[in-house]
């Protein structure tokens, strides 16, 4: 029998979906990645999630993704769990990335349905089960229908939760109703983790039973998100609500400049450039902020940082 004890369950807390620092569209900024991970761990995050949407995974070659897996696991060095998104239209590539993640020292892999052909739920379930049967690591399901164009229904998640090495689900559709349905469907597995990706709903999701958040803004201010999670965990409702308002304001400030379709990634990478000196290069087909957009974000960040100081 395979041993899936590489990660404590349920996984709880703030697990940032790390950005991918790039020197150019096909060259990983290795020192930048290590610096980011050190800053996040210093911010007391509970795990690292690599190669998600925030990490621009669909725009990166397999070689670059392998380098990110290797360097992320090396930088973390076992201090917190490392989750690797291995989602691919090609099942063979998905398996290759899963096997590489295991050899690199990752804690678990994350899988979303293929994103080209419309896939009925019976095939979503079969595809996930096939991965779980062959994966040398535990598997998290990843519901991100706005990008995958195929969802993992609560009923499908419930059936898949009967497989021992499918240990959780990350939901990025922003729906609290979906969260409630999944919780009901997986109630037989108290160790099954439910994580949310939309930071604007992090606090309401925690109150509704989520175990934690995979929030892009934690790349910028990890301590803010950890403090929110801790305040909620300790029943400090007023403090948690105040921090939630700041998180929502931060998201609005950073993710609403330029075209709505690309404002999240472009804004986040520009913010990290302004805050921490990271290169703001994005993989094709996206481009970094113009000088005017950068100046607008700089002004917005100054206001948010002042508000963040007032919450301490």
178 occurs within a structural domain: yes
How far is CA 230 from each of CA 2, 84, 176, 205, rounded to the nearest angstrom?
A: 34, 25, 21, 14
304 occurs within a structural domain: no
309 occurs within a structural domain: no
24 occurs within a structural domain: yes
75 occurs within a structural domain: yes
Angle value at C-alpha 136, between 38 and 123, nearest 5 degrees? 110
Per-residue pLDDT of the chain (312 residues; tens, 9 = 90+): 344 456 888 999 999 999 999 999 889 999 999 999 999 999 999 999 999 999 999 999 999 999 999 999 999 999 999 999 999 999 999 999 999 999 999 999 999 999 989 999 999 999 999 999 999 999 999 999 888 899 999 999 999 999 999 999 999 999 999 999 999 999 999 999 999 999 999 999 999 999 999 999 999 999 999 999 999 999 999 999 999 999 999 999 999 999 988 999 999 999 999 999 999 999 999 999 999 999 999 999 999 988 876 566
- Residues 6 or more apart whose CB falls under 8 angstroms from that of 226 comprise 13, 14, 43, 44, 45, 46, 218
249 occurs within a structural domain: no
- Residues 6 or more apart whose CB falls under 8 angstroms from that of 37 comprise 18, 48, 72, 75, 76
CA distance 259 to 200: 19
Q: What is the per-residue pLDDT for 105?
A: 97
* Ranges assigned E (strand) in the chain: 13-14, 22-24, 27-28, 48-50, 82-85, 108-111, 139-143, 166-171, 193-196, 212-213
Q: Which structural domain, as residue segments, surrounds residue 85?
A: 13-236
280 occurs within a structural domain: no
Q: What is the CATH number of the domain that holds 140?
A: 3.20.20.70
Tally the domains of the chain: 1
246 occurs within a structural domain: no
Q: What is the per-residue pLDDT for 4?
A: 45
Q: What is the per-residue pLDDT for 310?
A: 59
Q: For the whole prediction, is pTM greater than 0.85? A: yes
Count other C-beta atoms under 10 Å from residue 173's C-beta: 17
């Amino acid at each position: 029998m395979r041993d899936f004890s590489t990660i404590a369950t349920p996984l709880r807390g703030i697990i940032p979906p790390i950005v991918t620092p790039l020197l150019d569209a096909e060259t990983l900024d290795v020192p930048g990645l290590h610096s980011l991970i050190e800053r996040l761990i210093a911010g007391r995050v509970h795990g690292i999630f690599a190669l998600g949407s925030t990490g621009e995974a669909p725009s990166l070659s397999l070689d670059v993704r392998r380098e990110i897996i290797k360097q992320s696991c090396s930088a973390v060095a076992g201090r917190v769990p490392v989750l690797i998104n291995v989602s691919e239209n090609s099942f063979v590539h998905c398996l290759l990335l899963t096997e590489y993640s295991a050899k690199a020292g990752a804690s678990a892999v994350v899988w979303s349905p293929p994103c080209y052909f419309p896939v009925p739920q019976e095939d979503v379930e079969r595809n996930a089960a096939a991965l779980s049967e062959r994966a040398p690591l535990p598997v998290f399901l990843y519901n991100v229908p706005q990008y995958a164009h195929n969802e993992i229904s609560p009923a499908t998640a419930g059936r898949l939760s009967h497989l021992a090495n499918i240990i959780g689900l990350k939901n990025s559709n922003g729906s609290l109703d979906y969260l409630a349905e999944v919780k009901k469907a997986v109630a037989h597995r108290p160790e099954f983790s439910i994580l949310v990706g939309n930071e604007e709903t992090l606090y309401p999701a925690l109150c509704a039973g989520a175990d934690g958040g995979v929030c892009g803004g934690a790349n910028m201010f990890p301590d803010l998100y950890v403090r929110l999670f801790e305040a909620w965990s300790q029943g400090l409702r007023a403090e948690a609500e105040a921090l939630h308002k700041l998180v929502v304001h931060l998201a609005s400030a950073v993710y609403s400049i330029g075209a709505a379709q690309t404002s999240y990634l472009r804004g986040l990478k520009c913010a990290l450039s302004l805050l921490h000196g990271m290169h703001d290069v994005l993989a094709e087909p996206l481009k970094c902020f113009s000088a005017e957009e950068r100046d607008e974000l700089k002004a917005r960040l100054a206001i948010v940082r002042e508000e963040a100081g007032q919450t301490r």
